[in-house]
Structures are given as C-alpha cells and as structure tokens.
Amino acid sequence: MKKKTQLRPAVLLVPSAIFIVVIILSLAIGQPFTDTLTKGFEVLQYNLGWVVSLTMLLFVAFVAVVIFHPIGKIKLGGPNAKPKMSYWQWFVVSLCAGIGTGVVFWGAVEPLVFTFEPAPSLHLEPGSNEAVIWAMRTTFMHWTLTPYAIYVAFGLVLAYVIHNMRKPYNVSSGLIPVVGEKLAKGKLGTFVDMLTCFALIGGVAGSLGYGILQLSTGMDLVFGIEPTKFVYFIVAVAIFAAYTSTAISGLNRGIMWLGDKNAWFYVILLLFLLICGPASYIFNLLTQSLGSFFNNFVESMTFTAPFPDSELWPQWWDQYWWVDWLSYGPLMGLFFVRLGYGRTLREFVVVNWLMPCLFGFIWFAIFGGTVLYQQFYGGVDYYSIYLEKGMEAMTLEAFNSVPFAPFVKAFMLLIIAVSFITLANSMISTIASMSIKNSSENEEAPFGLKLFWGIIIAAAALVFTLAGGIDGVKMVKTFAGFPIVFLGIVMIVGFIIYMAKRPRDAAGNFEYEEAIANAPDNGEPCAPPSPTMEKLKAWIHSKKK
C-alpha cells in the first residue's frame, strides 16, 4: 500500500510566503528597498563577520579530523549497508550539484579581477607579481576547501543521524544529538527547517539569476541575439522546464544522468583549454599559488582588515561568500546524505570534500592561467573587457584566444545551462522532501511539491532579473546565512560531544553501530542504554532476537 503523503504546512508555506513578500516589496519600493538591505548587511558583516570566518575554520577542521579519527570508520547505514552508486557516480553528482554554477561563472573572473583590484589594505600594486599570486590563492580559498567543508560538515552530522539513528530526512534531525528528539521534532525543528528552506530559495534563485544573465549575454556574443526582457523570460522558462523535469525523474535517473554528462563536459573543456592554451604557465601558476594558499591558509581565513583603508573588502568578498555558501549549506549537506549510504564517514569526506576541492584547484588554475597569460603575454586586455562588458561576458570572451572560439563558446553555454540545471534539480528534490512529515532519504517527493518549489524559485529569479538586477535576492539570502552560522556551530559541537560519550572497544571502534543500524524501528531511542560494554553486548543480543 502506497504511503500517504503528509505535508508540513509551516515548512511549505512560510518560506515561500516570506519570499513572495520580499518580491512584492522589491517591486513596489525598488532601489531603496535593496539599499536598506545592503546597509543592514554591511552592519551585520562588520560586527559579526569575524564570527563567520572563525566558524568556517571550525568546519574545515571538523571535516579534516574525521579523515584520521576512528569515527571515520563508521559505515553509514550500518556494517551490512551496501552502496547505491559507484564512486564516479557519487563524485560527479556531488561535484556538479555543489559548485557547478559558481565555477562556470567565476572561473576566469575572480583571478583577473583580484589581480587588478586587490584588497586595498594590503597595499599590493595592481597587476604585480604579488597581486597575481594573492589573487589565485584568494580564489582557491573561495572555491575549494572552505565552501565544500560547509556542505560536508552539515552532511556528516545529518548522514549519521539519518542513516544510523534512522531519523527523518530533515535538517532539524541534526539537532537530535544536542537537544533530543522531542525538541528537534517540535517547534524548534520546524523553525530550523523553515529557515534553511528560506535560505535555499534565495540561494538557488540568485544562482538562476546569474544563469539568466550569463546565458542571455552569451547568446548575444555567440548568436547575435540581443539580451532583452523577452530573452530573459525565454531563458528562464527553458531552464525551469529542464530542471523541473529532471528533478521529477528522481536521483537515480535524471539527477545522476545529468551529473555524469555535466562532469564529462567539464573534463572535455578543461583538456581542450590545457592542450590549446599556455600549459606551462598554468602549471607554474598552479604550483606557486598552491604553496601560497596552504602556507597562508589560516591567515587568509581570518582576514578581517580592521583598518581605515579596508573599504570593507573582506566583508564584501570573503565573508560575503561564506554566508552565501551557508545559505545552501544545510540542504546541500542533506542532499549529500542520499549519496553516502553504505560508505564510511571517511569516504564521505574524501569524495564530497577532497575530490571536488582538487577539481576546483585545477579548474581555476586553467581558467585563471589562460586569462592572465593573455593579459600579460598575449596582448589581450581582458581587464578592460571586464570593465566594459561586465563579468557575465568575461568567461565567454576568454575563449577568443583559443582555436574554434565560436564552437567553444557555444559549448560553454551548454555547460552553463547544464550546471545550473544539475544544481537546481538536486535542491528542488531536497527541499520538496523537507516539506513532508517523517520523510525518508529513499523517498522521492511527489511531483506537485517539486513543481511548486520549482515555480517559486524560477519566479523569484525572473522577477528580480526583469526588475533590473538580482541584488535584492542576493541580500535576502545572505541574511538567512547568518543564523545558519550558529546552527552549524550547535550541530557540529553537539555532535562531537555526543560521539565523545559513545562507548568504543579496545581498538577505538564504535561497537554500538551495528546495534543502532539493525535495531527495529519501534520508536525507541537508537542508542545503547548503558555505557558499559557488558550491558551494550546484552542490549545488542536482545535486539537481534
């Protein structure tokens, strides 16, 4: 008998209602509304940005320790759990869902812009050798270890609680080790799930807004179709139809298939640029930039520039990126839960964190190296092109220096579209599942829920884009990122304390794992009633009868 779907009205309606109000205010008041949000964001960043930076360091440290700690041996789903996908399938879905839209938009832009517009308080000469290395290491910081640590930190906690404690497929389940099941399933849990859904709507809508602008600009550069509001509308509708249809088909069909194709598109493009581009320059730039990145990682992560000439640079770049990533963090971590069944926590970190980070280093080195080489040695002033045409056109303009430029630009437009579709369909599937009571990671949400969230996100992005920009939606989602900072601290610290109290055998292994994973689902707490090994073994034996 098919399980009857029970909705969570608060999670379904409150975030979407708030966003509809924001859209109405933005249209009615216009720029003053966006200016007010921007000023409030500056105040928050100046006063709390240091908390955000330190929390990001906590995330990085947490996921790194799991690789070497005995906790990393724990298998998600219990000792007998079997993986549902190969390492390649797992990696490509994780990579493309987590970072795809960002790398295609910023791949050539950040290294170039940071080289000629370094943080004022550092007093680096724009375009200097020092500025180039600083630009590359800052770009690496924005797009490798730290952002994926946000996803994986939330994902580790949620994967353990959902797979091994068998709790509902919600972000609020991550609070169970801290506050207990009653509070986590009550009003506190509902509030947390509403907050994370609201933040995600803003995050995906903002990404779609970037996608609409970049694809429309690209159509002008490649096909001569001038970007107009009608073109924006057509692009938005086409992307909406694509990501909704693939989300409806589920993880094992649409999302996994699309992720595989997306990853191969990335590989083909990178190999082409490497073969046709300045390979020696790229590898030399990558080598020195990586050394600078790791040597200065902690200092870069704690860069707050409390100086008169700072112009709030770290607040508007580093810390803005952190709260932007945080708007995705909990639900992206929840999506990762579906990918990790049957794998250990150590594998969870390696595949979801280290491997995408390695890809990020390579991607930005190749794109950044290609543009910077042409800027300094090829006689092409890409920085002037950026100032004249904007960042939406920058990435596509970079292909003018390679063979078959028109075909490569068209291929890049395809990658941009597929990258966003991969992100959106994974997030729509996750947020739809969050709208169901007692949802399971194995359960696909109904068509109607996916369609509802797909329409809300597309409408938000399109309205803001047609109104003259996406600044409003960007500011809204960053506000939601601030409380998620504290949610992350509570979940991670609480999980660490919870696991520290769990009994282990002489080798340091968590023996109760098998009992938790195999215990009958009768509403009893999925944890042994006694910290002593003798009582633990008796409890396991009783559960197996």
If asked whether residues 427 and 545 sit together in one domain, one would say no
Can you give the pLDDT at residue 527? 42
Phi/psi of residue 316, each to 5°?
-90, -10
Asked if residue 4 is part of any domain, the answer here is no
Could you give the C-alpha distances from 368 to 90, 265, 318, 412, 415, in angstroms and in order? Answer: 27, 18, 18, 16, 18
Label residues 213-250 b or e (16+ Cβ within 10 Å = b): bbbbbbbbbbeeeebeeebbebbbeebbebbbebbbbe
Domain count, the chain: 2
Can you give the pLDDT at residue 261? 81
The angle subtended at Cα 459 by Cα 248 and Cα 468, nearest 5°, is 145
Spatial distance between the Cα atoms of 151 and 360, rounded to a whole number of angstroms: 15
| Tens digit of each residue's pLDDT, the chain (545 residues) | 455 677 888 888 888 888 788 777 777 776 777 778 778 888 888 898 899 999 999 999 999 999 999 899 999 988 888 898 889 888 888 887 777 667 777 888 999 999 999 999 999 999 999 999 999 999 999 999 999 999 999 999 999 999 998 898 899 999 999 988 888 888 898 999 988 888 888 777 777 777 787 788 878 877 888 888 888 888 888 888 877 777 666 655 666 777 788 888 889 999 999 999 899 999 999 999 999 999 999 999 999 999 999 999 999 899 988 988 888 889 889 989 988 999 999 999 999 999 999 999 999 999 999 999 999 999 889 999 889 888 777 878 888 888 888 888 888 888 888 887 877 777 788 888 888 887 776 677 787 888 888 888 888 777 777 765 556 566 766 777 788 999 999 999 999 999 988 776 555 556 544 444 444 443 333 443 334 444 444 544 555 44
If asked whether residues 449 and 531 sit together in one domain, one would say no
Asked if residue 1 is part of any domain, the answer here is no
If asked whether residues 542 and 402 sit together in one domain, one would say no
Can you give the pLDDT at residue 545? 47
If asked whether residues 453 and 518 sit together in one domain, one would say no
If asked whether residues 183 and 223 sit together in one domain, one would say yes
Q: Which two tokens stand for residue 515?
A: 């009992």
Spatial distance between the Cα atoms of 320 and 315, rounded to a whole number of angstroms: 6
If asked whether residues 357 and 269 sit together in one domain, one would say yes
Asked if residue 2 is part of any domain, the answer here is no
Whose CA is closest to 102, among 331, 364, 355, 283? 364
Residue 525 region, left (φ>0) first, then alpha (ψ -120 to 50), else beta? Answer: beta
Can you give the pLDDT at residue 149? 95
Residue type, 84: K
Whose CA is closest to 269, among 111, 419, 389, 132? 419
Whose CA is closest to 143, among 180, 114, 171, 163? 114
If asked whether residues 515 and 491 sit together in one domain, one would say no
Asked if residue 69 is part of any domain, the answer here is yes
Q: How crowded is residue 391: how many other Cβ atoms within 10 Å of its Cβ? A: 18
Say what angle helices 129-143 and 355-376 make with each other, to 10 degrees.
150
Could you give the C-alpha distances from 440 to 11, 198, 459, 491, in angstroms and in order? Answer: 16, 21, 28, 20
Q: Which two tokens stand for residue 272?
A: 């082409």
Beta bridge partners of 24: none
Spatial distance between the Cα atoms of 176 and 170, rounded to a whole number of angstroms: 11
Asked if residue 3 is part of any domain, the answer here is no
Asked if residue 360 is part of any domain, the answer here is yes
| Sign of the alpha-carbon torsion through 64, 69, 70, 71 | negative
Q: Return the residue matching tokens 């970007």.
A: 227
If asked whether residues 535 and 475 sit together in one domain, one would say no
Phi/psi of residue 239, each to 5°?
-65, -40
Can you give the pLDDT at residue 6? 79
If asked whether residues 161 and 67 sit together in one domain, one would say yes
If asked whether residues 265 and 216 sit together in one domain, one would say yes
If asked whether residues 522 and 448 sit together in one domain, one would say no
Spatial distance between the Cα atoms of 190 and 10, rounded to a whole number of angstroms: 7
If asked whether residues 193 and 281 sit together in one domain, one would say yes
Up-side HSE of residue 168: CA atoms within 13 Å toward CB?
Answer: 23
Up-side HSE of residue 138: CA atoms within 13 Å toward CB?
Answer: 26
Tell me the Cα Rg of the chain: 23
Whose CA is closest to 207, among 354, 328, 112? 328
Asked if residue 80 is part of any domain, the answer here is yes
Residue ranges of the alpha helices (H) in 69-144? 87-106, 109-116, 129-143
Asked if residue 470 is part of any domain, the answer here is yes
Q: What is the reported pTM?
A: 0.87
What is the domain range of residue 527?
A: 511-545
Residue ranges of the alpha helices (H) in 224-344? 229-248, 256-276, 279-295, 297-301, 313-316, 318-339
CATH of residue 448's domain is 1.20.1740
